[in-house]
């Protein structure tokens, strides 16, 4: 009788939804957005990158990233590059032009191109023996430092195949200096795998970041900053700091470097600001107790920085003096800022998203009192009916205050089914902005009658170092209890149906999904797990970040307590699973090996009668990049939730996908 009533309500709701213009997987698959913005020194022009996905029913390929220019004086935007993807966009000093890297036409590798600010055809400026992964201009505009993989030596083999030597058959990147007037590159004398290179303002020094090797684990745990003399190309100083490393910027006088990094090697994220002398040595931390996360910075003058920060679920722009004094310039709780650029006159361009739209270009006036939206990448979105979005706070069982974001259903009939979306990391957080993507139900769920919940459980970023470290050494413990406490809060205060709660997430969020579908299976009626962890023992030996996991997550070795890590693994509880579980994984994932999904699938399928399905995506890694694979994911995810949370079915949906259906 209960199932018949649930099915009736499902049909009633879908008739109502069909009469409204709500967001669907088809809409998400065609969504465009701005990804990056760079303002000119004068503040008159802004160059921005516009992401355009490929049609998923025509070509399974990554999105193209095109180049546009906004002219503030005319309030007009002009497309510059729309035939191919561009990266590493910069203004060329002393030239009225832009440079970028791209693989165009017959290019074997990504090369450096230049296009005048008045448009026209981009011309190849420089090519190398391998792809140019990044570069930086000397202030003279004719010399640059660039990074590329070391040239691979030809090997003679008598065998008709070439084996892969795991974690030995790898190539590092090197930094090279080249004068375009006589293009014969010289390599900088920096040992290891170079990850970044940045000119000082006077062109006499180069700050280089490098890791011991190109292994991802070394990138996270072993990067250092070296100061290189631009004439001899030798290292003259080293900055002593051992932690995750983010953006670095030279002061205008070239005497100091500001950089964003972790507090120490156990800080899970690069979110603190440090100041180091160009002569090297130990850096000084600024605002060590800031209850947020610094995202980016630029020098305003030799004594002041302009920063972008996350504060909980919100974004802010402000200034920070070398004396540690902070002054907030701009914060709009309805705009999540993902990147910014500052002109010499203080004008600021930034990329922001809101609950109503994904990333767009904004201009901030000089007084930082208001921001003006410049672009509208998806005008059709203005006609869609979206669910209301709000920030919520609640108390965890131990009294800790947890933040989250709730999207309400577009239409509501009776008690509300809920989809809980768990972020990965766990060193990440959700901002109060656009929260819909191919793998996040967001407004797709709201359009189908769901409330959609995004908890920033302990261990999330944006609330200072102590909060980010608060989940360490307790995998699957209080961090995931926080999520259940949030669900209980919504059941009590938002009329959520206790019997129709779903959960989804990728990576560490996939771990949470698997944990909820096994350890806490009585609480969740459906789950969609992506690239998630199921066995902490085998995860350690098959991941590309075992040391990073130890330093900032587990804080103890698995061989010191095998039983503990086994009991914090979803497979340990697989025999009790009653939560229908859809498992999705990229076949080429190196971060979380696909074997993690195979293991959970096999345990549930063998030990229970619970509905479980495993979907593998060839050519995809730790998340889907290509258009058709993303679209397929969205449809399968929403169909799985509709089947078990709306229809009340006990049978899995068909394996085939009709790309024309909702």
Task: Specify which residues 97 forms β-bridges with.
Answer: 116
- Examine residue 133 and state whether it is found in any structural domain, yes or no: no
Q: Taking 70 as the threshold, does the pLDDT of residue 18 lie above it?
A: no
- Examine residue 593 and state whether it is found in any structural domain, yes or no: yes
Which phi and psi (to 5°) does residue 318 adopt? Answer: -160, -175
pLDDT band per the 50, 70, 90 thresholds, residue 249: very high
CA quadruple 312, 487, 577, 25: dihedral sign: negative
Q: Taking 90 as the threshold, does the pLDDT of residue 630 lie above it?
A: yes
Contact 423, 404 (CB under 8 A): no
Q: What is the mean pLDDT of residues 423-446?
A: 98
pLDDT band per the 50, 70, 90 thresholds, residue 6: very low
- Taking the C-alpha atoms of 41, 353, 33 and 61 in order, what is their torsion angle to the nearest 10 degrees? 120
Within 13 Å of residue 23, how many CA atoms lie on the same side as its CB? 29
- Examine residue 359 and state whether it is found in any structural domain, yes or no: no
Which residues, 6 or more positions from 330, have their beta carbon under 8 angstroms from its beta carbon? 316, 317, 318, 348, 364, 368, 369, 371
Q: What is the mean pLDDT of residues 198-227?
A: 96
Q: What is the mean pLDDT of residues 310-316?
A: 97
The predicted pLDDT at position 523 comes to: 98
Find, among 497, 489, 517, the residue nearest to 5 by Cα: 497
The predicted pLDDT at position 413 comes to: 87
DSSP secondary structure string for all residues of 518-572 = HTTGGG-SEEEEES--S-HHHHHHH-S-HHHHIIIII-S-GGG-HHHHHHTSGGG
**Digit-coded pLDDT (tens) for 169-191:** 788 999 999 999 887 999 999 99
Q: Taking 90 as the threshold, does the pLDDT of residue 4 lie above it?
A: no
- Examine residue 55 and state whether it is found in any structural domain, yes or no: no
- Taking the C-alpha atoms of 246, 251, 255 and 261 in order, what is their torsion angle to the nearest 10 degrees? -20
- Examine residue 433 and state whether it is found in any structural domain, yes or no: yes
Provide the token pair at 185: 């590159």
**Digit-coded pLDDT (tens) for 385-415:** 999 999 999 999 999 999 999 999 999 889 9
Q: Taking 80 as the threshold, does the pLDDT of residue 659 lie above it?
A: no
Q: What is the mean pLDDT of residues 287-312?
A: 97
Candidate from 9-23, 386-400, 423-437 with smallest mean pLDDT: 9-23
Contact 259, 274 (CB under 8 A): yes
Q: In what order do the strands lie in the sheet with 111-116?
A: 87-91, 97-102, 111-116, 123-126
- Examine residue 551 and state whether it is found in any structural domain, yes or no: yes
Q: What total of structural domains would you count in the chain?
A: 1
The predicted pLDDT at position 15 comes to: 44
| Residue 452, Cβ density class (10 Å: 0-12 exposed, 13-18 middle, ≥19 buried) | buried
d(CA 600, CA 613): 10
Provide the token pair at 381: 């979105």
The predicted pLDDT at position 19 comes to: 52
Q: How far is CA 229 from CA 202, 255, 401, 545, in A?
A: 12, 13, 49, 33
Task: Specify which residues 530 forms β-bridges with.
Answer: 506, 584
Which residues, 6 or more positions from 182, have their beta carbon under 8 angstroms from its beta carbon? none
Which phi and psi (to 5°) does residue 350 adopt? Answer: -145, 160
d(CA 594, CA 585): 6
d(CA 256, CA 278): 5
Identify the three-state secondary structure at position 508.
Answer: helix
Provide the token pair at 8: 């009736």
Provide the token pair at 180: 């375009």
d(CA 30, CA 33): 10
What pTM does this model have?
A: 0.94
Q: Which domain holds residue 396?
A: 388-646
The predicted pLDDT at position 388 comes to: 98
- Examine residue 372 and state whether it is found in any structural domain, yes or no: no
Find, among 21, 15, 23, 77, the residue nearest to 45 by Cα: 77
DSSP 623: B
pLDDT band per the 50, 70, 90 thresholds, residue 112: very high
Share of the chain above pLDDT 90, in %: 89
DSSP 653: P
- Examine residue 142 and state whether it is found in any structural domain, yes or no: no
Q: What is the mean pLDDT of residues 357-386?
A: 94
Contact 432, 405 (CB under 8 A): yes
d(CA 147, CA 194): 7
> Residue 61's CB: how many other CB atoms inside 10 A?
15
d(CA 396, CA 13): 33
The predicted pLDDT at position 155 comes to: 59
d(CA 123, CA 107): 13
Q: Taking 90 as the threshold, does the pLDDT of residue 17 lie above it?
A: no
Question: Which CATH number fits the domain that encloses residue 587?
Answer: 3.40.50.1820
Question: Cis bond leading into 595, ω under 30°?
Answer: no
């Amino acid at each position: 009788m209960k199932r018949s009533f649930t099915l009736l309500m499902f049909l009633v709701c879908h008739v109502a939804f069909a009469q409204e213009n709500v967001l669907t997987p088809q809409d998400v698959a065609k969504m465009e957005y701005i990804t990056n913005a760079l303002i000119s020194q004068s503040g008159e022009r802004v160059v921005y990158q516009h992401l355009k996905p490929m049609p998923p029913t025509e070509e399974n390929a990554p999105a193209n990233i095109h180049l546009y220019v906004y002219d503030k004086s005319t309030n007009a935007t002009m497309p510059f590059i729309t035939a191919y993807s561009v990266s590493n966009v910069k203004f060329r000093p002393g030239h009225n032009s832009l440079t970028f890297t791209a693989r165009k036409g017959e290019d074997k590798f990504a090369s450096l191109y230049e296009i005048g600010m008045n448009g026209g055809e981009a011309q190849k400026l420089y090519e190398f023996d391998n792809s140019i992964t990044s570069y930086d201009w000397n202030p003279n505009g004719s010399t640059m430092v660039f990074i590329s993989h070391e040239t691979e030596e030809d090997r003679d083999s008598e065998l008709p195949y070439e084996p892969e030597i795991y974690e030995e058959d790898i190539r590092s990147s090197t930094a090279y200096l080249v004068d375009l007037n006589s293009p014969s590159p010289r390599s900088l004398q920096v040992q290891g795998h170079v990850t970044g290179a940045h000119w000082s303002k006077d062109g006499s020094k180069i700050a280089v970041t490098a890791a011991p090797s190109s292994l991802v684990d070394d990138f996270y745990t072993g990067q250092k900053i070296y100061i290189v003399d631009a004439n001899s190309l030798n290292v003259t100083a080293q900055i002593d700091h051992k932690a995750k490393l983010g953006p670095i910027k030279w002061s205008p006088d070239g005497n100091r470097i500001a950089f964003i990094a972790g507090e120490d090697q156990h800080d899970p994220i690069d979110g603190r600001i440090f100041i180091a002398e160009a002569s090297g040595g130990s850096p000084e931390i600024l605002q060590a107790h800031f209850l947020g996360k610094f995202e980016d910075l630029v020098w305003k003058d030799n004594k002041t920085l302009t920063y972008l920060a996350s504060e909980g679920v919100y974004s802010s722009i402000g200034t920070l003096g070398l004396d540690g004094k902070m002054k907030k310039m701009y914060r709009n709780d309805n705009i999540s800022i993902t990147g910014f650029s500052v002109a010499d006159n203080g004008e600021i361009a930034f990329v922001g998203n809101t609950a109503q739209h994904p990333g767009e270009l904004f201009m901030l006036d000089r007084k930082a009192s208001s921001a003006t939206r410049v672009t509208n990448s998806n005008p059709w979105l203005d006609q869609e009916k979206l669910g209301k979005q709000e920030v919520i706070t609640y108390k965890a069982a131990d009294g800790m205050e947890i933040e989250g974001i709730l999207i309400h259903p577009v239409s509501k009939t009776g008690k509300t089914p809920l989809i809980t979306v768990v972020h990965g990391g766990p060193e990440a957080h959700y901002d109060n902005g656009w929260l819909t993507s191919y793998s996040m139900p967001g407004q797709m769920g709201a359009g189908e009658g769901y409330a959609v919940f995004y908890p920033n459980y302990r261990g999330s970023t944006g609330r200072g170092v102590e909060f980010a470290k608060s989940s360490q050494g307790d995998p699957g413990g209080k961090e995931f209890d926080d999520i259940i406490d949030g669900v209980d809060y919504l059941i009590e205060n938002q009329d959520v149906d206790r019997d129709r709660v779903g959960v989804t997430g990728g990576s560490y969020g996939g771990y949470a999904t698997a944990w909820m579908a096994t350890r806490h299976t009585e609480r969740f009626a459906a789950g969609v797990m992506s690239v998630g962890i199921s066995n902490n023992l085998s995860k350690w030996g098959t991941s590309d970040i075992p040391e990073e996991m130890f330093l900032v997550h587990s804080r103890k070795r698995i061989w010191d307590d095998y039983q503990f890590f086994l009991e914090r693994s979803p497979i340990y509880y697989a025999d009790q699973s009653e939560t229908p579980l859809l498992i999705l994984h990229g076949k080429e994932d190196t971060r979380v090996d696909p074997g993690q999904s195979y293991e959970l699938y096999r345990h549930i399928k063998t030990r229970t009668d619970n509905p479980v399905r495993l979907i593998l995506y060839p050519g995809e890694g730790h998340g889907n990049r290509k258009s058709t694979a993303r679209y397929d994911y969205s449809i399968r995810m929403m169909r799985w939730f509709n089947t078990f949370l709306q229809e009340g079915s006990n049978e899995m949906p068909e394996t085939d996908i009709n790309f024309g259906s909702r």
